[in-house]
Copies of this chain bind each other. A is one copy, B any other.
Amino acid sequence: MPSYNLVSKEMKEDETVVQVADKAFGGGSFSVIAGPCAVENSEELIDLAIFLREAGVQILRGGVFKPRTSPYSFQGLGKEGLGFLAEAGQLAGLPVVTEVLDVRDLDMVLQYVDMVQIGSRNMQNFGLLREVGRSKHPVLLKRGLSATVEEWLLAAEYILTEGNQQVILCERGIRTFETATRNTLDISAIPLVKQLSHLPVIADPSHATGRRELVVPVGRAAVMAGADGLMIEVHPAPERALSDGAQSLRPEELKNLMRGLKDLLLVRDEINKGTGA
Binding site for B on A (CB under 8 A): 3-5, 67-72, 101-104, 121-122, 124-127, 145-146, 148-151, 154, 157-158, 161, 174-181, 184-192, 195, 205, 208-209, 211, 213-214, 216-218, 220-226, 256-257, 259-260, 263-264, 266-267, 270-271, 274-277
Which B residues touch A263, using CB under 8 A?
A: 267, 270-271
Number of copies: 4
Residues of B within 8 Å of A257, CB to CB, are 275
Contact of A176 among B177, B192, B275 (CB under 8 A): B177
Chain B residues with CB under 8 Å of A208's CB are 188
Whether A157 and B70, one on each chain, are in contact in the complex, defined by CB atoms closer than 8 angstroms, is yes
Q: Are A264 and B224 in touch, CB under 8 angstroms?
A: yes
Please measure, in the bound complex, the distance between the C-alpha atom of A94 and the C-alpha atom of B73, giving whole angstroms.
40
User: Which one, B148, B158, B276, contacts A179 given CB within 8 A?
Assistant: B148
Q: Are A191 and B217 in contact (CB-based, < 8 A)? A: yes
For the complex formed, measure the closest distance between the CB of A273 and the CB atoms of chain B, giving whole angstroms.
10
Please, which residue of chain B has its CB at the minimum distance from the CB of A270? Answer: B263
Q: How far is the CB of A266 from chain B (nearest CB, A)?
A: 8
A188 near B214 with CB under 8 A, answer yes
Residues of B within 8 A of A122 (CB): 125
With A71-B157, A218-B191 as given contacts, are A101 and B126 in contact (CB-CB < 8 Å)? Answer: yes
Q: Which 3 A-B pairs have the closest CB atoms?
A: A146-B146, A256-B275, A102-B127
